[in-house]
Amino acid sequence: MKMSGKTVLITGSTDGVGRYVARRLAEEGARVLIHGRDPARAQALSDEIVKAGHAAPTFYRADLSSMSGTRALADAVIRDHQRLDVFVSNAGIGSQNDGPQRQVSADGHELRFAVNYLSGFLLAHLLLPLLKAAAPSRIVNVASLGQHPIDFDDVMITKGYSGSRAYAQSKLSQIMFTIDLAEELKGAGVTVNSLHPATYMNTTMVRAGGITPISTVEQGGGAILHLVEGDDVAGKSGLFFNGMNEARANPLAYDADARRRLRALSLKLTGLSS
């Protein structure tokens, strides 16, 4: 897909792999909408893009740990744009951000489930009218090979909590949502796929976990860009990729009943259904 003139929203794009993807798409002539919580980081990215001779991105500041913050971001994008060609759901927190202890969001949800999964679930649904208006368009969910089955009796992990389990559960939830949404969008001209970009990229999230990076943001960013613009994936939807290659996710992702349970819970928690 030629990106010149296309409108692309990338959440979590003022740092790490999202920043790299935003810069690359700006170089290709896309109208880039960047998101983060730090205006200084956003300005630094904007200055870098402009200095390279490309159009300045539009910055949307939002806290995706709350449903109200997530809705505010969607409202702002809908207010400013009539179409959205690509939505890259990339914002997330790792297993050790701000410590290993269990944390909750403003809405009382386990924090990693809220930020890594529920915010993207809500944003995708709210932005669907813009994505459908731009068809053929794409949704890319940045997930992980780290996946942990959901305990539907304790989704918020109030017992036996660990940051790594919470992170992995949120990432499997993204993949399950990808498969469901792809089914829902059949015939609408909107594809949705998820991926593990690369293992332990050199990002703030990885370093915060005390992990020595073993791959680069360029490697992970290239995998994301493949799903954003690759001709070979133009008609593919509901898939999970490991880097550049199609892969299999945790078996629970292919359990239709589990996906129905997750969808019902997600609609309720995000306020999309009573």
Give catalytic residue positions.
Answer: 167
Rounded to 10°, the helix 163-184/119-133 angle is 30
In terms of DSSP bridges, do strands 240-242 and 245-247 run parallel, antiparallel, or are they unpaired? Answer: antiparallel
Give first-to-last CA distance, the chain, whole Å: 39
Q: How buried is residue 190: exposed, middle or buried, by Cβ count under 10 Å (0-12/13-18/19+)?
A: buried
d(CA 118, CA 41): 24
Contact of 241 with 194, CB cutoff 8 Å: yes
Q: 205-223: b or e for each residue (b if 16 or more CB lie within 10 Å)?
A: bbeebeeeeebebebbbbb
d(CA 202, CA 217): 6
Which alpha helices (H) appear in the chain, and where do they start and end? 16-27, 39-51, 67-80, 111-112, 119-133, 163-184, 204-208, 217-229, 256-269
Contact of 21 with 221, CB cutoff 8 Å: yes
d(CA 95, CA 63): 18
Contact of 89 with 139, CB cutoff 8 Å: yes
